[in-house]
Structure 1
Amino acid sequence: MDKTTKTITSNKSKIGTRYMAGVAMLSALAFVLQYLEFPIPIMPGFVKFDFSDLPALLGAFAYGPLAGVLVEFIKNLLHCAVSQSATVGELSNFILGAVFAGTAGLIYKHKKTKKMAVTGALAGSLLMGIISFPSNLFIVYPFYRVAYSMDYPTIVGFYKAILPSVNELWQCLLIFNLPFTIAKGVISTVIAMLIYKPLSPILKGRNQ
Protein backbone atom coordinates (compact mmCIF):
# COMPACT_ATOMS: atom_id res chain seq x y z
CA MET A 1 0.00 0.00 0.00
CA ASP A 2 1.58 3.29 -1.10
CA LYS A 3 1.64 6.49 0.94
CA THR A 4 -1.27 8.12 -0.95
CA THR A 5 -3.51 5.09 -0.45
CA LYS A 6 -2.65 4.99 3.24
CA THR A 7 -3.51 8.67 3.58
CA ILE A 8 -6.88 8.23 1.86
CA THR A 9 -7.70 5.20 4.02
CA SER A 10 -6.70 7.09 7.16
CA ASN A 11 -8.84 10.09 6.21
CA LYS A 12 -11.85 7.88 5.50
CA SER A 13 -11.40 6.19 8.86
CA LYS A 14 -11.25 9.56 10.64
CA ILE A 15 -14.36 10.78 8.83
CA GLY A 16 -16.23 7.58 9.69
CA THR A 17 -15.24 7.83 13.34
CA ARG A 18 -16.21 11.50 13.48
CA TYR A 19 -19.55 10.70 11.83
CA MET A 20 -20.40 7.99 14.35
CA ALA A 21 -19.23 10.08 17.30
CA GLY A 22 -21.17 13.11 16.08
CA VAL A 23 -24.38 11.16 15.53
CA ALA A 24 -24.04 9.51 18.96
CA MET A 25 -23.43 12.86 20.68
CA LEU A 26 -26.35 14.57 18.93
CA SER A 27 -28.63 11.60 19.65
CA ALA A 28 -27.81 11.78 23.35
CA LEU A 29 -28.45 15.53 23.36
CA ALA A 30 -31.77 15.04 21.55
CA PHE A 31 -32.78 12.38 24.08
CA VAL A 32 -32.10 14.78 26.96
CA LEU A 33 -33.91 17.66 25.25
CA GLN A 34 -36.94 15.43 24.76
CA TYR A 35 -37.40 15.53 28.54
CA LEU A 36 -37.20 19.33 28.71
CA GLU A 37 -40.71 19.90 27.43
CA PHE A 38 -43.18 22.56 28.47
CA PRO A 39 -46.83 23.37 27.74
CA ILE A 40 -47.96 26.14 25.39
CA PRO A 41 -50.89 28.32 26.57
CA ILE A 42 -52.66 28.18 23.19
CA MET A 43 -52.52 24.36 23.06
CA PRO A 44 -54.18 21.67 25.21
CA GLY A 45 -52.03 20.72 28.20
CA PHE A 46 -51.09 17.31 26.81
CA VAL A 47 -49.47 18.89 23.72
CA LYS A 48 -46.04 20.12 24.78
CA PHE A 49 -43.08 21.79 23.12
CA ASP A 50 -39.47 20.58 23.17
CA PHE A 51 -36.26 21.22 21.25
CA SER A 52 -35.33 17.59 20.57
CA ASP A 53 -35.47 18.01 16.77
CA LEU A 54 -32.72 20.64 16.86
CA PRO A 55 -29.80 18.16 17.21
CA ALA A 56 -31.17 16.12 14.30
CA LEU A 57 -31.26 19.26 12.15
CA LEU A 58 -27.66 20.08 13.09
CA GLY A 59 -26.66 16.51 12.25
CA ALA A 60 -28.36 16.72 8.86
CA PHE A 61 -26.43 19.88 8.05
CA ALA A 62 -23.09 18.59 9.34
CA TYR A 63 -23.14 14.99 8.11
CA GLY A 64 -25.99 14.68 5.63
CA PRO A 65 -29.71 13.80 5.65
CA LEU A 66 -29.20 10.20 6.79
CA ALA A 67 -27.43 11.42 9.92
CA GLY A 68 -30.43 13.58 10.81
CA VAL A 69 -32.74 10.61 10.39
CA LEU A 70 -30.40 8.45 12.50
CA VAL A 71 -30.43 11.00 15.32
CA GLU A 72 -34.23 10.94 15.32
CA PHE A 73 -34.26 7.13 15.27
CA ILE A 74 -31.75 6.70 18.12
CA LYS A 75 -33.43 9.41 20.20
CA ASN A 76 -36.81 7.72 19.97
CA LEU A 77 -35.37 4.23 20.34
CA LEU A 78 -33.84 5.31 23.65
CA HIS A 79 -37.07 7.00 24.67
CA CYS A 80 -39.03 3.78 24.06
CA ALA A 81 -37.55 2.50 27.33
CA VAL A 82 -39.57 5.11 29.24
CA SER A 83 -42.50 5.38 26.82
CA GLN A 84 -45.90 6.22 28.21
CA SER A 85 -47.64 5.45 24.93
CA ALA A 86 -46.51 1.88 24.14
CA THR A 87 -44.02 3.45 21.69
CA VAL A 88 -46.80 4.94 19.53
CA GLY A 89 -45.77 8.47 20.49
CA GLU A 90 -42.15 7.64 19.72
CA LEU A 91 -43.13 6.22 16.33
CA SER A 92 -44.97 9.41 15.42
CA ASN A 93 -42.14 11.56 16.75
CA PHE A 94 -39.65 9.63 14.62
CA ILE A 95 -41.76 9.94 11.47
CA LEU A 96 -42.17 13.69 11.87
CA GLY A 97 -38.58 14.33 12.95
CA ALA A 98 -37.18 12.21 10.14
CA VAL A 99 -39.26 14.15 7.61
CA PHE A 100 -38.03 17.45 9.08
CA ALA A 101 -34.32 16.66 9.32
CA GLY A 102 -34.20 14.47 6.22
CA THR A 103 -35.83 17.11 4.01
CA ALA A 104 -33.58 19.87 5.34
CA GLY A 105 -30.47 17.74 4.87
CA LEU A 106 -31.38 16.70 1.33
CA ILE A 107 -31.92 20.27 0.16
CA TYR A 108 -28.82 21.58 1.93
CA LYS A 109 -26.72 18.75 0.47
CA HIS A 110 -27.63 19.96 -3.04
CA LYS A 111 -26.00 23.33 -2.42
CA LYS A 112 -24.33 24.10 0.90
CA THR A 113 -25.17 27.73 1.45
CA LYS A 114 -26.95 29.46 4.30
CA LYS A 115 -29.86 30.27 2.00
CA MET A 116 -30.28 26.61 1.07
CA ALA A 117 -30.00 25.60 4.73
CA VAL A 118 -32.85 27.96 5.63
CA THR A 119 -34.87 26.84 2.59
CA GLY A 120 -34.36 23.19 3.45
CA ALA A 121 -35.26 23.59 7.10
CA LEU A 122 -38.38 25.63 6.33
CA ALA A 123 -39.45 23.10 3.71
CA GLY A 124 -38.89 20.37 6.29
CA SER A 125 -40.96 22.30 8.83
CA LEU A 126 -43.84 22.67 6.38
CA LEU A 127 -43.74 19.02 5.35
CA MET A 128 -43.50 17.91 8.99
CA GLY A 129 -46.62 19.92 9.77
CA ILE A 130 -48.51 18.40 6.84
CA ILE A 131 -47.51 14.84 7.80
CA SER A 132 -48.51 15.50 11.41
CA PHE A 133 -52.16 15.66 10.38
CA PRO A 134 -52.58 12.04 9.20
CA SER A 135 -50.05 10.85 11.79
CA ASN A 136 -52.12 12.25 14.66
CA LEU A 137 -55.48 11.43 13.10
CA PHE A 138 -54.78 7.79 12.24
CA ILE A 139 -52.00 6.73 14.63
CA VAL A 140 -51.57 8.80 17.79
CA TYR A 141 -55.07 9.85 18.80
CA PRO A 142 -56.75 6.49 18.07
CA PHE A 143 -54.18 4.91 20.38
CA TYR A 144 -54.70 7.46 23.15
CA ARG A 145 -58.46 7.00 22.80
CA VAL A 146 -58.10 3.29 23.57
CA ALA A 147 -55.21 3.47 26.06
CA TYR A 148 -56.77 6.18 28.23
CA SER A 149 -60.43 5.25 27.65
CA MET A 150 -61.26 8.69 26.28
CA ASP A 151 -63.85 9.12 23.54
CA TYR A 152 -63.30 11.67 20.81
CA PRO A 153 -65.78 14.22 22.24
CA THR A 154 -63.67 14.26 25.42
CA ILE A 155 -60.48 14.82 23.45
CA VAL A 156 -62.12 17.52 21.34
CA GLY A 157 -63.31 19.10 24.58
CA PHE A 158 -59.74 20.02 25.49
CA TYR A 159 -59.52 21.99 22.25
CA LYS A 160 -63.02 23.49 22.63
CA ALA A 161 -61.90 24.99 25.93
CA ILE A 162 -59.51 27.11 23.84
CA LEU A 163 -61.62 27.53 20.69
CA PRO A 164 -65.32 26.75 21.27
CA SER A 165 -66.14 26.66 17.54
CA VAL A 166 -64.27 23.37 16.87
CA ASN A 167 -66.42 20.24 16.88
CA GLU A 168 -64.41 17.52 15.13
CA LEU A 169 -60.99 16.04 15.85
CA TRP A 170 -59.75 16.74 12.31
CA GLN A 171 -60.61 20.41 12.82
CA CYS A 172 -58.58 20.47 16.03
CA LEU A 173 -55.57 18.90 14.34
CA LEU A 174 -55.81 21.26 11.37
CA ILE A 175 -56.23 24.43 13.43
CA PHE A 176 -53.96 23.60 16.37
CA ASN A 177 -51.53 20.74 15.81
CA LEU A 178 -50.53 21.39 12.21
CA PRO A 179 -49.42 25.03 12.70
CA PHE A 180 -47.90 24.12 16.07
CA THR A 181 -45.75 21.45 14.41
CA ILE A 182 -44.65 23.86 11.68
CA ALA A 183 -43.82 26.51 14.29
CA LYS A 184 -41.78 23.95 16.22
CA GLY A 185 -39.68 23.32 13.10
CA VAL A 186 -39.30 27.03 12.39
CA ILE A 187 -38.04 27.69 15.93
CA SER A 188 -35.47 24.90 15.56
CA THR A 189 -34.48 26.43 12.23
CA VAL A 190 -33.89 29.87 13.77
CA ILE A 191 -31.77 28.41 16.57
CA ALA A 192 -29.81 26.23 14.14
CA MET A 193 -28.98 29.26 12.01
CA LEU A 194 -27.61 31.02 15.08
CA ILE A 195 -25.47 28.19 16.45
CA TYR A 196 -24.51 25.99 13.51
CA LYS A 197 -21.57 28.07 12.29
CA PRO A 198 -19.73 28.18 15.65
CA LEU A 199 -20.55 24.49 16.26
CA SER A 200 -19.54 23.35 12.77
CA PRO A 201 -15.78 23.06 13.53
CA ILE A 202 -16.60 20.84 16.51
CA LEU A 203 -19.02 18.65 14.58
CA LYS A 204 -16.85 18.33 11.50
CA GLY A 205 -13.41 18.41 13.08
CA ARG A 206 -11.34 21.43 14.01
CA ASN A 207 -8.95 20.95 11.11
CA GLN A 208 -11.66 21.50 8.50
Structure 2
Amino acid sequence: MSAGVSTKNRSRMSVNTIAKVSILGALAFLVMLFEIPLPFAPAFYKLGFDEVIVLIGGFALGPWAAVCIEALKIALNLLFNGTITAGTGELSNFLIGLAFVLPATFVYHQNKTRKNACIGLIYGTISMTIMGGLINYFIILPAYSFFMKIPLDALIAMGTAINPNINGLLAFVLLSTVPFNLLKGVLVSLIVFISYKKVSPVIKKQ
Protein backbone atom coordinates (compact mmCIF):
# COMPACT_ATOMS: atom_id res chain seq x y z
CA MET A 1 0.00 0.00 0.00
CA SER A 2 2.78 2.42 0.96
CA ALA A 3 4.67 1.64 -2.25
CA GLY A 4 1.57 2.45 -4.29
CA VAL A 5 1.09 5.73 -2.45
CA SER A 6 4.77 6.58 -2.93
CA THR A 7 4.57 5.87 -6.66
CA LYS A 8 1.43 7.97 -6.93
CA ASN A 9 3.10 10.85 -5.10
CA ARG A 10 6.17 10.67 -7.34
CA SER A 11 3.96 10.69 -10.42
CA ARG A 12 2.01 13.67 -9.12
CA MET A 13 5.27 15.48 -8.31
CA SER A 14 6.61 14.74 -11.78
CA VAL A 15 3.50 16.12 -13.50
CA ASN A 16 3.58 19.11 -11.17
CA THR A 17 7.23 19.81 -11.99
CA ILE A 18 6.65 19.48 -15.74
CA ALA A 19 3.78 21.95 -15.47
CA LYS A 20 5.98 24.42 -13.58
CA VAL A 21 8.79 24.09 -16.12
CA SER A 22 6.31 24.65 -18.94
CA ILE A 23 4.85 27.77 -17.32
CA LEU A 24 8.29 29.20 -16.54
CA GLY A 25 9.51 28.46 -20.07
CA ALA A 26 6.52 30.28 -21.55
CA LEU A 27 6.99 33.19 -19.14
CA ALA A 28 10.69 33.42 -20.02
CA PHE A 29 9.75 33.54 -23.70
CA LEU A 30 7.30 36.40 -23.08
CA VAL A 31 9.92 38.34 -21.13
CA MET A 32 12.36 37.65 -23.97
CA LEU A 33 10.16 39.74 -26.28
CA PHE A 34 10.98 42.91 -24.35
CA GLU A 35 14.58 43.99 -24.93
CA ILE A 36 16.50 47.21 -24.34
CA PRO A 37 19.19 48.62 -26.66
CA LEU A 38 22.44 49.73 -25.04
CA PRO A 39 24.48 52.82 -25.94
CA PHE A 40 27.84 51.02 -26.12
CA ALA A 41 26.71 48.18 -28.42
CA PRO A 42 25.31 47.98 -31.99
CA ALA A 43 21.53 47.93 -32.40
CA PHE A 44 21.33 44.15 -32.86
CA TYR A 45 22.60 43.67 -29.28
CA LYS A 46 19.66 44.19 -26.95
CA LEU A 47 19.44 43.52 -23.24
CA GLY A 48 16.74 41.11 -22.07
CA PHE A 49 15.86 39.74 -18.66
CA ASP A 50 14.48 36.33 -19.63
CA GLU A 51 17.34 34.60 -17.80
CA VAL A 52 15.87 35.92 -14.55
CA ILE A 53 12.97 33.49 -15.00
CA VAL A 54 15.28 30.63 -15.99
CA LEU A 55 17.54 31.18 -12.98
CA ILE A 56 14.69 31.46 -10.49
CA GLY A 57 13.22 28.25 -11.90
CA GLY A 58 16.61 26.56 -11.71
CA PHE A 59 17.19 27.69 -8.14
CA ALA A 60 13.78 26.37 -7.12
CA LEU A 61 13.63 23.15 -9.16
CA GLY A 62 17.24 22.25 -9.92
CA PRO A 63 19.80 22.60 -12.73
CA TRP A 64 18.01 20.12 -15.02
CA ALA A 65 14.88 22.25 -14.79
CA ALA A 66 16.91 25.32 -15.78
CA VAL A 67 18.08 23.46 -18.89
CA CYS A 68 14.49 22.54 -19.78
CA ILE A 69 13.20 26.08 -19.20
CA GLU A 70 16.00 27.51 -21.32
CA ALA A 71 15.33 25.01 -24.11
CA LEU A 72 11.58 25.67 -24.06
CA LYS A 73 12.14 29.43 -24.16
CA ILE A 74 14.40 29.12 -27.22
CA ALA A 75 12.02 26.66 -28.92
CA LEU A 76 9.05 29.00 -28.45
CA ASN A 77 11.03 31.92 -29.80
CA LEU A 78 12.03 29.86 -32.82
CA LEU A 79 8.42 28.76 -33.35
CA PHE A 80 6.82 32.18 -33.13
CA ASN A 81 9.57 34.46 -34.41
CA GLY A 82 11.39 32.16 -36.84
CA THR A 83 15.11 32.33 -37.53
CA ILE A 84 17.32 34.38 -39.80
CA THR A 85 20.47 32.34 -39.24
CA ALA A 86 19.26 28.78 -39.98
CA GLY A 87 19.11 28.00 -36.26
CA THR A 88 22.73 28.89 -35.48
CA GLY A 89 21.68 31.99 -33.57
CA GLU A 90 19.15 30.07 -31.50
CA LEU A 91 21.62 27.28 -30.74
CA SER A 92 24.25 29.86 -29.79
CA ASN A 93 21.81 31.69 -27.51
CA PHE A 94 20.89 28.36 -25.90
CA LEU A 95 24.54 27.55 -25.19
CA ILE A 96 25.25 31.04 -23.85
CA GLY A 97 22.17 30.79 -21.63
CA LEU A 98 23.31 27.42 -20.28
CA ALA A 99 26.76 28.85 -19.60
CA PHE A 100 25.01 31.31 -17.28
CA VAL A 101 22.33 29.24 -15.55
CA LEU A 102 24.08 25.88 -15.10
CA PRO A 103 27.05 27.06 -12.99
CA ALA A 104 24.76 29.31 -10.94
CA THR A 105 22.13 26.67 -10.19
CA PHE A 106 24.65 23.86 -9.69
CA VAL A 107 26.64 25.82 -7.10
CA TYR A 108 23.47 26.93 -5.31
CA HIS A 109 22.12 23.39 -5.06
CA GLN A 110 25.32 22.16 -3.42
CA ASN A 111 24.35 24.20 -0.38
CA LYS A 112 21.27 26.41 -0.58
CA THR A 113 22.53 29.55 1.14
CA ARG A 114 22.58 33.20 0.09
CA LYS A 115 26.36 33.01 -0.03
CA ASN A 116 26.28 30.08 -2.44
CA ALA A 117 23.64 31.81 -4.53
CA CYS A 118 25.93 34.83 -4.80
CA ILE A 119 28.95 32.66 -5.67
CA GLY A 120 26.95 30.71 -8.24
CA LEU A 121 25.70 33.89 -9.89
CA ILE A 122 29.25 35.25 -10.08
CA TYR A 123 30.48 32.01 -11.66
CA GLY A 124 27.55 32.07 -14.07
CA THR A 125 28.22 35.66 -15.09
CA ILE A 126 31.90 34.95 -15.75
CA SER A 127 31.07 31.76 -17.62
CA MET A 128 28.45 33.49 -19.80
CA THR A 129 30.80 36.37 -20.55
CA ILE A 130 33.55 34.02 -21.74
CA MET A 131 31.19 31.73 -23.66
CA GLY A 132 29.37 34.68 -25.20
CA GLY A 133 32.63 36.17 -26.43
CA LEU A 134 33.83 32.92 -27.99
CA ILE A 135 30.51 32.08 -29.63
CA ASN A 136 30.06 35.59 -31.01
CA TYR A 137 33.58 35.56 -32.43
CA PHE A 138 33.41 32.12 -34.03
CA ILE A 139 29.69 31.61 -34.76
CA ILE A 140 27.14 34.38 -34.26
CA LEU A 141 28.79 37.33 -35.98
CA PRO A 142 30.05 35.31 -38.99
CA ALA A 143 26.65 33.58 -39.29
CA TYR A 144 24.77 36.88 -39.02
CA SER A 145 27.01 38.34 -41.71
CA PHE A 146 26.49 35.32 -43.99
CA PHE A 147 22.72 34.92 -43.68
CA MET A 148 21.91 38.63 -43.64
CA LYS A 149 24.32 39.19 -46.55
CA ILE A 150 26.05 41.96 -44.65
CA PRO A 151 29.85 42.05 -44.97
CA LEU A 152 31.58 41.36 -41.68
CA ASP A 153 33.44 44.65 -42.09
CA ALA A 154 30.08 46.42 -42.16
CA LEU A 155 29.10 44.81 -38.85
CA ILE A 156 32.42 45.84 -37.35
CA ALA A 157 31.84 49.36 -38.66
CA MET A 158 28.63 49.50 -36.60
CA GLY A 159 30.78 48.98 -33.55
CA THR A 160 33.39 51.47 -34.74
CA ALA A 161 30.68 54.11 -35.05
CA ILE A 162 30.03 53.71 -31.32
CA ASN A 163 33.60 53.09 -30.17
CA PRO A 164 36.50 54.18 -32.44
CA ASN A 165 38.75 51.60 -30.74
CA ILE A 166 36.78 48.80 -32.42
CA ASN A 167 38.92 48.13 -35.49
CA GLY A 168 38.40 44.42 -36.05
CA LEU A 169 36.37 41.37 -35.03
CA LEU A 170 38.41 40.68 -31.90
CA ALA A 171 38.14 44.29 -30.77
CA PHE A 172 34.40 44.17 -31.50
CA VAL A 173 33.98 41.17 -29.21
CA LEU A 174 36.22 42.52 -26.44
CA LEU A 175 34.81 46.06 -26.43
CA SER A 176 31.17 45.37 -27.28
CA THR A 177 30.14 41.74 -26.77
CA VAL A 178 32.05 41.14 -23.52
CA PRO A 179 30.79 44.32 -21.76
CA PHE A 180 27.27 43.54 -22.98
CA ASN A 181 27.25 40.04 -21.47
CA LEU A 182 29.01 41.20 -18.31
CA LEU A 183 26.41 43.93 -17.73
CA LYS A 184 23.58 41.49 -18.48
CA GLY A 185 25.01 38.97 -16.02
CA VAL A 186 25.37 41.55 -13.25
CA LEU A 187 21.88 43.03 -13.68
CA VAL A 188 20.15 39.65 -13.99
CA SER A 189 22.08 38.34 -10.97
CA LEU A 190 21.06 41.31 -8.85
CA ILE A 191 17.39 40.84 -9.72
CA VAL A 192 17.53 37.11 -8.99
CA PHE A 193 19.46 37.60 -5.73
CA ILE A 194 16.95 40.17 -4.47
CA SER A 195 13.76 38.49 -5.63
CA TYR A 196 14.33 34.72 -5.38
CA LYS A 197 13.39 34.20 -1.74
CA LYS A 198 10.20 36.18 -2.27
CA VAL A 199 8.94 34.23 -5.27
CA SER A 200 10.39 30.75 -4.63
CA PRO A 201 7.59 29.64 -2.24
CA VAL A 202 5.10 30.08 -5.09
CA ILE A 203 7.18 27.88 -7.42
CA LYS A 204 7.89 25.22 -4.80
CA LYS A 205 4.25 24.99 -3.70
CA GLN A 206 2.79 21.58 -4.59
Shared fold (TM-score, shorter chain, > 0.5): yes
The separation in 2 between residues aligned to 1:39 and 1:141, in whole angstroms, is 18
Identify the residue that residue 31 of structure 2 maps to in structure 1: 33
The 5 A counterparts of 1:86-125 are 86-125=86-125
Please state whether the residue corresponding to 1:161 is helix, strand or coil.
Answer: helix
2:62–2:109 contact (8 Å) kept in structure 1: yes
- Kindly tell me the number of residue pairs found equivalent between the two proteins: 204
1:13 corresponds to which letter in structure 2? S
Identify the residue that residue 82 of structure 2 maps to in structure 1: 83
2:21 corresponds to which letter in structure 1? V
Sequence identity percentage? 34
Please state whether the residue corresponding to 2:50 is helix, strand or coil.
Answer: coil
The answer to whether the aligner puts 1:133 opposite 2:138 as a matched pair is no
The separation in 2 between residues aligned to 1:173 and 1:39, in whole angstroms, is 17
Identify the residue that residue 146 of structure 2 maps to in structure 1: 146
Identify the residue that residue 22 of structure 2 maps to in structure 1: 24
After TM superposition, give the deviation of residue 24 of structure 1 in Å. 0.6
1:107 corresponds to which letter in structure 2? V
The answer to whether the aligner puts 1:198 opposite 2:198 as a matched pair is yes
Q: Which runs of 5+ in 1 are unaligned?
A: none
TM-score, length-normalised on structure 2?
0.93
The separation in 2 between residues aligned to 1:186 and 1:6, in whole angstroms, is 47
1:18–1:205 contact (8 Å) kept in structure 2: no
Deviations 1:113-159 (A, max 9, x none): 11101111111111011011121111111111111222222111111
TM-score, length-normalised on structure 1?
0.92
1:62–1:200 contact (8 Å) kept in structure 2: yes
The separation in 2 between residues aligned to 1:186 and 1:122, in whole angstroms, is 8
1:124 corresponds to which letter in structure 2? G
The answer to which structure, 1 or 2, has the higher relative contact order (CA under 8 A, 6+ apart) is: 2
After TM superposition, give the deviation of residue 64 of structure 1 in Å. 0.7
Task: Report the RMSD for the aligned CA atoms in angstroms.
Answer: 1.4
Please state whether the residue corresponding to 1:177 is helix, strand or coil.
Answer: helix
1:34–1:52 contact (8 Å) kept in structure 2: yes
1:39–1:49 contact (8 Å) kept in structure 2: yes
